[in-house]
Amino acid sequence: MTHFPVMKIEPLRIPFSIPAPSGPLPRFVSAYIISTPGSLTLIDAGVVGSEEIIFSHLQRSGRRPEEISSLILTHAHPDHIGAAKAVREATGCTIAAHGADRAWIEDTDRQDRERPVPGFYQLVGGPVTVDRILEDGDTIEMGEGLILEVIHTPGHSPGSISLLLLPDMALFSGDAIPVPGDLPIYDDPVASLNSIERLMAIDGITSLFSSWDEPKEGEEVYWAMDDGYARIQEVHEVVKGVLADRPGIDPAELTCMVVKEIGLPAELANPMVTRSLLAHVRALQKA
């Protein structure tokens, strides 16, 4: 139950696809609008063109796009920043993100070079300047007594953040919590596990709004965290097992074997998954 009946959290499910050799890979991402009578806050901007989904949703609920006063990016990836440029141009909103992902938001060519996602510029409309750098523990005042508390949850990316809406105790987790049955995508599995542990330790979260999953409420919030945590551990054990049998295996073959072992269709063996698996390999070498 929401403490402030005037506040609404509106999920926007945004479909998109990533080019793949076997044909376009359908994905979706959720962006969220937190609306109060006085302001609209957008959490993540979806892919290029998503402003149309966001703005037409607002118009249907009798609000104007220009009422979006701030856009908070949970991290720099294409499906979160894709429409940021168009949203800023249409609304003049301020943009906030963690400092560790700033360079990839402000220099999208650099992100494309350093983390190649197939069809990057079919997903991203261009770079934007980050007006407010967020750090762990920062609070964002939203009026009506509502506050968003910033929790730095690195692992998926170095500057991934989660946002806890107070006093309602609703958590926006971006891509910090993996979904079993979906691609494992993170830069640092150990940091991801630590971040999920941190979220699990917060008592009384009433609802979970992830970018990758349907909204969860009550006990399901913590079950989703348990499942995400277990998924990273599962991938870790599978990578460990494959390396024990085949120490010199090349990254593409490792990806095919792990994808099969964790029950994903073979066409999901792509460079983004390889990136995650190589992060597991580095963690194993360090251990």
169 burial class (0-12, 13-18, 19+ CB within 10 angstroms)? Answer: middle
Mask 221-260, x = binds Zn ion (CB under 5 A)?
----------------------------------------
Q: Which tokens is 164 given?
A: 């806890």
**CA atoms of 259 and 214, how far apart (whole Å):** 23
Q: Which of 286, 61, 90, 272 is nearest to 183 (CA)?
A: 272
Residue 127 CB, nearest distance to Zn ion (Å)?
A: 17
CB of 79 vs Zn ion, minimal distance in Å: 7
Distance in Å, CB of 212 to Zn ion, minimum: 8
Based on the shown chain and the rule CB under 5 A, indicate whether residue 88 belongs to the binding site for Zn ion: no
Is the bond leading into 118 cis (omega within 30 degrees of zero)?
A: no
Whichever of 77 and 85 has its CB closer to Zn ion, that residue is 77
User: Does the protein bind Zn ion through residue 213 (CB under 5 A)?
Assistant: no
- Closest residue by beta carbon to Zn ion: 77
Please report how close the Cβ of residue 59 comes to Zn ion at its closest, in angstroms. Answer: 28
For every residue of 7-64, DSSP letters joined together read -EEEEEEEEEEE--TTS-EEEEEEEEEEE-SS-EEEE---STTHHHHHHHHHHHTT--
77 binds Zn ion (CB under 5 A): yes
- Could you give the string, one character per residue 31-60, with x where binding to Zn ion holds by CB under 5 A and - elsewhere? ------------------------------
- Of the pair 58, 76, the CB lying nearest Zn ion is at 76
Three-state DSSP class for residue 171: strand
Alpha carbon distances (Å) from 1 to 4, 5, 202, 204: 9, 9, 18, 12
In whole angstroms, how close is the CB of 112 to Zn ion at the nearest point?
A: 14
Token digits of residue 237: 């054990």
Site for Zn ion in 141-200 (CB under 5 A): 175
| CB-based contact 146:36 (threshold 8 Å) | yes
Say what the alpha-carbon torsion angle 33, 53, 153, 194 is, to the nearest 10 degrees.
110
State which residue, 120 or 249, has the beta carbon closest to Zn ion: 120
The residue range among 71-79, 83-91, 225-233, 239-247 that interacts with Zn ion, by the rule CB under 5 A, is: 71-79
How far apart are CB 145 and Zn ion at their closest, in Å? 31
> CB of 185: closest distance to Zn ion in angstroms?
6
Nearer to Zn ion, 146 or 268 (CB): 268
Task: Choose between 175 and 188: whose C-beta lies nearer to Zn ion.
Answer: 175
CB 41 within 8 A of CB 15: no
Residue 150 or 177: the one with the smaller Cβ distance to Zn ion is 177
Whole-number Å distance between alpha carbons of 227 and 177: 9
Determine, following the binding rule CB under 5 A, whether residue 98 of this chain makes contact with Zn ion: no
Spatial CB neighbours of 131, under 8 Å, sequence gap ≥ 6:
94, 95, 96
CB of 132 to Zn ion, least distance (A): 20
Q: Which residues of this chain interact with Zn ion, rule CB under 5 A?
A: 77, 175
